[in-house]
Copies of this chain bind each other. A is one copy, B any other.
Amino acid sequence: MRPEEAYADLIKRWREAALLQSCAAVLEWEQQTYLPSEGAEHRSEQLALLAGIHHQRITDPRIGDDLQAVEESGIANDPLSIEAVNVREIRKSYDKSTKLPQSLVEEMAKTFSFAQQEWAAARREKNFARFQPWLAKSMDLTRQKARAIHPTGNLYETLMDDYEPGAKGDDIAKVFEKLREALIPFVAAIQDSKQQPTDGILERNYPIDKQQFFGEMVASEIGFDFSRGRLDTTTHPFCTTLGPHDCRILTRYNRNFFNESFFGILHEAGHGLYEQGLLPEHYGTPMGEAVSLGIHESQSRLWENSVGRSRPFWRHYYPKARGIFRDALGSLPMEDFYFAVNKVAPSFIRVEADEVTYNLHILIRFELERALISEDLSVEALPAAWNDKYQKYLGILPPDDALGCLQDVHWSAGLIGYFPTYTLGNIYGAQFFNQANTDLGGLDARIAAGEFEGLLGWLREKIHRHGKRYQPVDLVREVVGADPSPEPLVRQLHAKFDELYGL
Instruction: Tell me the A residues contacting B by CB distance below 8 Å.
Output: 16, 19-20, 22-23, 26-27, 30, 34-39, 41-43, 45-46, 49-50, 53, 225-230, 232, 242-246
Contact = CB atoms under 8 A, between A and B. Distances in A.
A230 B37 CA distance: 10
A224 to B, nearest CB: 11
Given A30-B26, A49-B20, A38 B230 contact: no
B45 A227 contact: no
Contacts of A242: 39, 42
Given A34-B232, A36-B230, A232-B34, A49 B243 contact: no
Given A39-B243, A228-B39, A22 B34 contact: no
Contacts of A45: 19
Contact of A38 (B23, B46, B228): B228
A36 B50 CA distance: 23
A41 B246 CA distance: 10
| This protein's copies in its complex | 2
For A16, A41, A246, which residue has the most chain B Cβ atoms within 10 angstroms?
A: A246
A243 B19 CA distance: 22
Given A42-B243, A243-B46, A228 B23 contact: no
A23 B42 contact: no
A232 to B, nearest CB: 7
Contacts of A53: 53
A30 B26 CA distance: 8
B36 A246 contact: yes
Given A229-B36, A246-B36, A23 B49 contact: yes
Nearest to A243: B42
Given A39-B228, A39-B246, A46 B19 contact: yes
Given A35-B246, A38-B228, 5 more contacts: A23-B27, A26-B46, A34-B230, A39-B243, A42-B242
A35 B227 CA distance: 9
Given A26-B30, A27-B23, A30-B26, A42 B230 contact: no
Contact of A227 (B20, B38, B225): B38
A486 to B, nearest CB: 38
